Structure 1
């Protein structure tokens, strides 16, 4: 049957419109065959062999962000929430379908996310300089926005202690340096690490002996706190990971030590596995550096996951917490490992 010109043009216009529409829910997979082991694995020490799975591929799940950050695993919903800061949205990766869809738009240029032990999402917001917790109705409750009468800089990342639900967060101020990730204003407070009492919401400064406190995580037993210091972005200091002993369920930090130093690039988001190794997302080091760096509890670097993009954050996802979910710059990736994340998010 012949189609007249008008119907033909109408039909082609509709097809073109579908092609142009963003399909967030479609997962991405490599199009070409890939030989095992995946070249993403880089063994620096034979002790890293136990965490490598030779027939597990690095999979690019989705692309479309400008700066992916703040990943956290929700075991009940079987999803990872992550932030796309410049696009002012929180995204949701579904483990079952592989779909990536918007979760919250706008999101006050949120960065780090985590979940408390009641399953409520906690987010660090850049543009409002707040730490918020979403209640059971999905509404944000403000947990912290000022200290000693001064506005916080721009909270970055947070963790929760299981003993009493106390929240520790970092406040380096990156969301106040550029309109791209929040707003522009002078910082009113020293760059610091804080503790929030979950009941009284009392805010206590734990330390300001750190230049740019960024990603953070507890050791498996919650007796140590690791904090990435991305000092080199604004100071003539190298980027490091600092570790403290945790006292009184996180209400005090003691015995500050340098755990690891980056010769090139910056460690950002960090996570611990059940053996106490620290997995550090790394960016701005270039090829061979960007990706995940893995350190033993004594600070020895034993391996890397080499990535095609700068990486800002990661989390261990899945029922067994053995699937790395990695925030690249414009994309998110997954990789099954023989390691297990020490914590739930």
Structure 2
């Protein structure tokens, strides 16, 4: 049985026949937020319900990076290589300094507590963009059940003034985020309000101009499942989570093919020596596959 399905012949050139999907670790409850640290040769990711950040290192395997982690979800690195994290439990975005101390970057907007920051990315101007759906406060599974005081939005943090502004306000529950390589496009996943079977679930694409985005357009709807988290490769293809694996979408929104994974995928990231290794967080496990494609990653 093949580990992939190609809807377009082009996708067959993206995969390598002798590079299968491999399970690197398992036994978690719900894993998300993978981020590659090339200088440390390791991958960090969140095991959210178990309130910990895990670390996978080639040759050494799995270890605990931080416990408790305040129910962290998404992670990225800033321009100085520091870990930036979304915390459900404390409803904030934090930065881990080089000395290990933690700095609070954002925990409120217009005097009200954030919902539960979910995914985070950093632009080349140093601004931090994060999504703030309500998933971490609707139950006690991935945080603490709490009152929602703000709409679910995407925010931008000014790198100079630290001012927080709402930049995407038209989605039910914005989730995964990614910029195009030239940062002229912002892709945002809307995974819908929790417990709402009729909620919109799709990827929207917004044109970026400076600190602002336009009204956006519908880019792609993943099926089965939904686009929770995604990253882009060197050609602008979007590699996104789905209910049956990882889907590859062209820059025009065309479905090219899928990598089959035996668990529901939550997030992905590129890593390895040439950014050609796709790391996949999927329900209870961490997987990887080596591709004939490299991801874009900053720094």
TM-score category by the smaller chain? over 0.9
1:8-42 deviations in Å (ceiling 9; x for gaps): xxxxxxxxxxxxxxxxxxxxxxxxxxxxxx72211
Partner of 2:120: 158
Q: Tell me how far 1:98 sits from its aligned partner.
A: 4.7
1:85 to 8, 27, 48: 48
What are the equivalent positions in structure 2 for 1:62-211 lying under 5 Å apart? Answer: 62-95=25-58, 97-162=59-124, 164-211=125-172
User: Matches of 1:344 and 1:323 in 2, distance apart?
Assistant: 16
CA contact 1:238–1:262 (8 Å) conserved in 2: no
Q: Who is 2:181 aligned against?
A: 220
Distance (Å, rounded) in 1 between the aligned partners of 2:168 and 2:4: 36
Structure of greater relative contact order (alpha carbons < 8 Å, 6+ residues apart): 2
Q: CA deviation at 1:255?
A: 4.0
User: In terms of mean alpha carbon deviation, does 255-264 or 111-120 score higher?
Assistant: 255-264
The alpha-carbon deviation at position 84 of structure 1 amounts to 0.2
Runs of 4+ displaced beyond 3 Å = 232-235
Structure 2 distance, partners of 1:110, 1:135, is: 16
| 1:1-345 matched pairs, under 5 angstroms | 39-95=2-58, 97-162=59-124, 164-231=125-192, 233-235=194-196, 236-248=198-210, 251-283=211-243, 290-344=244-298
| Structure label with greater radius of gyration | 1
- Work out whether residues 51 and 338 of structure 1, in 8 Å CA contact, stay in contact via their aligned partners in 2: yes
SS of 1:297's equivalent? coil
In structure 2, relative to structure 1, the CA distance for the partners of 1:330 and 1:200 (3 Å cut) is same
Structure with more of its chain in helix, by fraction: 1
For residues 241 and 222 of structure 2, what CA distance do their matches in structure 1 show? 12
CA distance in structure 1 between the aligned counterparts of 2:50 and 2:294, rounded to whole angstroms: 31
Aligned counterparts of 1:267 and 1:98: Cα–Cα separation in 2: 31
Contact preservation (8 Å) 1:238, 1:261: no
Q: CA deviation at 1:207?
A: 1.7
- SS at 2:11 equivalent: helix
Rounded to whole Å, the distance in 2 between the matches of 1:322 and 1:226 is 21
- The CA RMSD measured in Å over matched residues stands at 1.3
Residue equivalent to 1:12: none
> Are the aligned partners of 1:173 and 1:191 in contact in 2 as well (CA < 8 Å)?
yes
- The Cα of 1:313 is off from its aligned counterpart by 0.5
Deviation at 1:232, TM superposition (A): 6.0
**TM-score, normalised relative to structure 2:** 0.97
The total of aligned residue pairs comes to 298
**Unaligned runs of at least 5 residues, structure 1:** 1-37, 284-289
Structure 2 counterpart SS, 1:231:
coil
Deviation at 1:344, TM superposition (A): 3.8
Asked whether the 8 Å contact 2:115–2:134 carries over to 1, the reply is yes
